[in-house]
Each structure stands twice: as structure tokens, then as C-alpha cells.
Amino acid sequence: MAFSLIKPFLNEYTLGKIYTFRGDKKKYLAELLKVVEKDQIPKYFGGTQVDENGDEKCSSKVQTQKK
């Protein structure tokens, strides 16, 4: 919904760089792997990286919310 609100203000060149996947892991991971190595993506999101504690979300490296 938010994207629908800002879309009219973006030019075609910019719109051509934006992809939306609605949480479809197979689709977003395939596109992401075109630009990022699998070992740089947390295992939870489809990559192979885990942090030093074995956490698949790499909580020590990726902050998802302010503490």
C-alpha cells in the first residue's frame, strides 16, 4: 500500500530498479543472489551465514529493532 502511494512520484528509471516479492522467498532470494554472495546472507533469510553464537538470524550482526 505504501509503495502505491509513492509510485506516481517516481520516474520510470527508478521504478525499473524496484522489485516487490510479497514475501515469496524463492523469488526474492533468486534476485538477491544475483548481487550478494550466499555466505553474506543470514541463513534465516536463505543464505548460509550464521553468527558466532550459531544464530541463523545473525542477531549480533543484524539489528532488527532498537533496544
Residue 56 counted as domain residue:
no
Res 5 pLDDT > 80 = yes
Q: Structural domain tally of the chain?
A: 1
Residue 58 counted as domain residue:
no
Residue 67 counted as domain residue:
no
Residue 16 counted as domain residue:
yes
* Per-residue pLDDT at 61: 82
Domain range enclosing 32: 2-45
* Per-residue pLDDT at 23: 78
Residue 28 counted as domain residue:
yes
* Per-residue pLDDT at 66: 63
Residue 50 counted as domain residue:
no
Residue 29 counted as domain residue:
yes
Residue keyed to cell 534476485: 31
pLDDT tens-digit readout, 6-51: 999 999 999 999 888 887 888 889 999 999 999 999 999 899 999 9
Number of other residues whose CB lies within 10 A of the CB of residue 47 = 19
For residue 27 the three cell numbers come to: 523469488
Q: What is the pTM of this model?
A: 0.65
